[in-house]
A and B are shown apart, each in its own frame.
Chain A
Amino acid sequence: MMSYDFSVVLRFSDALTLGLVMTLKLTVLSILIGSVIGFAVALARTSSNGVLRFICATYVEFFRGTPVLVQLFWIFFCLPLILGVELSNLVSGVIALSLYMGAVSSETFRAALRTVGPEQHDAAIALGLPSHVEVTYVVLPQALLRAAPPLLSNSVSLFKESALVSAVGLADLMFVGQNISNTTGRPVEVLTIVALIYFVIAFPITRVVTVFERRMLRKLKA
């Protein structure tokens, strides 16, 4: 039976911090870009243009129906060949994760848009609101409020999925952790600590989501 020495990890705290910063940078950028894509796609799927709806539905289904790892490999190895330009690892990572986030969050936005009931539309007409006022001041705020908690959940998922970029050599937390684990030969200590770092970031957010969601539903019940 071997003994475990978690202080080993402390010696690499700088490297781990750099990895974490990379993970967070990647995650935040992809969440922002992905949410914008997701919202646009959700709106496009309510369009009367059948071709546009089909393209958006295919995009969503495809990115939800294939492994993120395959998407990542495709963007890393195939996109530069197709575009004929070199993409930095970070750019490729952000493109891949944003497209994934876009597909996932578009479903969140779509569900939220649907919860705004037809009686709200009746009320808007009875008050003589033109459709742009109805969308901006009645539909959008309610949809965004309802989308906020699941969107935060989507963001936690993306934070976790971002670990995949280590497989294509981007120096994120996972990548740094695996390197340290390999060079020190102490996977138990290093990998456990890395897992805990992910956990202490993701877990509180999921708690916030739960509380937030309960409050939101109570408020929007009416």
Chain B
Amino acid sequence: MGNTMTVAPAQGDGSALLCVKGLRMGYGPVEVLKGMDIEMKPGERVVLIGPSGSGKSTLLRVMMGLEQIQHGQITFGGDPYITADKGKTKIDIGVRKKIGMVFQHYTLFPHLSVLGNLILAPCKVAGESRSSASERARALLERLGLSHRVDAYPAQLSGGQKQRVAIARALMLDPKLMLFDEVTSALDPELVAEVEQVILQLAAQNMPMMIVTHDMWFAKNIASRVIFAAEGRIIEDGPPEQVLGNPREERTREFLERVFHIKT
């Protein structure tokens, strides 16, 4: 597979965009995240890899405020927005709104058209007018090559189209950070590229993102930084050339060999 897209190098002025501190979470006695610390700089594109059960997807869900945590704090742009407080998880919705997320299983609203899916949140939450939101939505869909499907319903779309619409829906809210949770895992192989191209386009525009993926080609091409996690802990964290090409940790090496047959 050839890559024609050039990706801008990661930029950063040193101050953290996102900061995860001492994060622990679990369901009852089962601890999924066993203390995680991550600092992400503006413009970084972090790819999370690791075996199933390593807590990668859970980490993304926590950052989106979809899960209760037991310990720790997450700040975005310097503002704490997810805080564990006496067994309860406090979420600052105003801050969280700056983060967008795309899921493995599309999660489009089946009763709304493509346009309806895109303008629901801008109209109902941000109070944008229907006509202005529709105009932005059409322009966005045009850029993603979906202008012919504006009035289609999710059930009429291919998996790749659904996922591109889901990305567009998240972009409508003008997020400052995008989370992608295994967005190509449910797709037929021939549909993977069209979705990855869209994410590479976003990367070219310097959108900060955190990506969970099993696609090594994609990981290599999009990442400015790779984190390898296993059993709820971060094992290795560094530039893609290091983590994917010449890992320092034996567990990373073993994982890459076993799962991707990458000899390092």
Q: Which residues of A contact B (CB under 8 A)?
A: 119-120, 122-123, 125-130, 133, 137-138, 141-142, 145, 218-222
Please list 27 pairs of residues, one from A and one from B, whose beta carbons are closer than 8 Å in the complex, sorted by A's number.
A122-B103, A123-B103, A123-B109, A125-B64, A126-B66, A126-B107, A126-B170, A127-B125, A127-B170, A127-B173, A128-B93, A128-B96, A128-B121, A128-B173, A133-B120, A133-B124, A133-B125, A137-B120, A137-B124, A138-B120, A219-B110, A220-B155, A221-B110, A221-B155, A222-B110, A222-B153, A222-B154
Residues of B near A127 (CB, < 8 A) are 120-121, 125, 169-170, 173
Contact, CB under 8 Å: A128 / B64: no
CB nearest neighbor in B for A138:
B109
Separation of A126 and B108 alpha carbons in the complex (Å): 12
Which interface residue of A127, A137, A145 has the most chain B CB atoms within 10 A? A127
Which interface residue of A119, A123, A219 has the most chain B CB atoms within 10 A? A123
Residues of B near A126 (CB, < 8 A) are 64, 66, 100-101, 103, 107, 170
- Given A219-B153, A221-B155; A129-B110 close (CB under 8 Å): no
Chain B contact residues: helix, strand, loop or mixed:
loop
Q: Which residues of B contact A (CB under 8 A)?
A: 61, 64-66, 93, 96-97, 100-101, 103, 105-112, 120-121, 124-125, 153-155, 162, 169-170, 173
Contact, CB under 8 Å: B103 / A119: yes
Q: How many A-B residue pairs have CB under 8 A?
A: 71
Of A122, A129, A218, A221, the contact of B121 (CB 8 Å cutoff): A129
Contact, CB under 8 Å: B107 / A122: yes
Separation of A123 and B104 alpha carbons in the complex (Å): 11
Contact, CB under 8 Å: A219 / B93: no
Question: How near does chain A come to B101, taking the closest CB pair, in angstroms?
Answer: 4
* Extra A-B contacts (10), CB below 8 Å, given A122-B61, A129-B124: A119-B105, A122-B66, A122-B103, A126-B103, A128-B93, A142-B109, A142-B110, A219-B110, A219-B155, A220-B110
Separation of A58 and B107 alpha carbons in the complex (Å): 36
Separation of A220 and B162 alpha carbons in the complex (Å): 14
Residues of B near A130 (CB, < 8 A) are 125
Residues of B near A220 (CB, < 8 A) are 110-111, 155
